[in-house]
Amino acid sequence: MANQTLRSATVRAAAKRAERAERTRRSNDGRPAATPVIERTEPAESAVRPVRRPGTLGAVLAALVVLAVAATATLGLRYREADRTVAARTAALAAARKAAPAILSYDYRHLDRDFAAARAHLTGPFLDEYGKTTSTVVAPTARTYHGVVKATVAKPPTGDAAPAVSVVSASPEKVVILLFMNQVTTSTQVATPRLDLNRVRMTLVHTPQGWKVSAVDAL
């Protein structure tokens, strides 16, 4: 009898456990499935952003500033050079018109005065060359034949009042000028005054005393 009672109790307990398990299963079957959580991994900041070099922009800006300053200085120098060249042309032309008649003229009656006036326009080795030529060649011949040479800058045949003078080349320190000269010569060797038409290339350089002639070439 006791064994039968124990078996009945065991059966009932097992039935209750099965009933609870069934209720639990049914309860779980009615729940919605849990949504899986997807973790997002943000890319590292260093992988998307470019590496910044603090000194690069500053170096570029500094280089641009240097280039701008250099360009401005170069243009300024060129403008000043051009202005100086224009001033040199004007001053050298005036000096050449004044110097040419003095250098190419003389009168046997006052050679020393004429030669001194010419030397005032000369400079450099040409000054010494002129002195030697006039003392050894020109002066003796002029005194012997009573030579007189009067030189003037020619005027254009068109009747223009401006003398026939042109600039061959020019820089702030040196100007080469072409002059057309008339030379009238009288002496005991010619019956009547002789007119010679000459072209002369004159080189002038800037000196502390102004524009001076450093070379004269007959063309």
- Dump pLDDT digits (tens) for 61-71: 777 777 777 66
Flag whether pLDDT at 22 surpasses 70: no
| CB-CB contact of 215 with 121 (8 Å) | no
With a CB cutoff of 8 Å and minimum separation 6, the contacts of 169 are 175, 176
pLDDT tens per residue across span 174-191: 999 999 999 999 999 999
The contacts of residue 195 (CB under 8 Å, 6+ apart) are 182, 183, 184
Higher per-residue confidence, 109 vs 7: 109
Burial class (CB in 10 A: 0-12, 13-18, 19+), 121: buried
The angle subtended at Cα 85 by Cα 81 and Cα 91, nearest 5°, is 145
Rg (CA), the chain: 55
- Is residue 95 scored above 90 in pLDDT? yes
Could you tell me the CA-to-CA distances from 79 to 72, 84, 86, 198 in Å, in that order? 11, 9, 11, 37
Of the ranges 16-20, 173-177, 193-197, 210-214, which one carries the lowest mean pLDDT score? 16-20
Place of tokens 């004159």: 202
User: 27 CB contacts (<8 Å, ≥6 apart)?
Assistant: none
87 has a pLDDT exceeding 70: yes
Cβ neighbours of 98 (radius 10 Å): 13
With CA atoms as reference, report the closest residue to 187 among 143, 152, 217. 143
Q: pLDDT tens digit string along 1-13?
A: 544 554 555 656 6
This prediction has a pTM of 0.63
For residue 29, how many other CB atoms are within 10 A of its CB?
A: 7
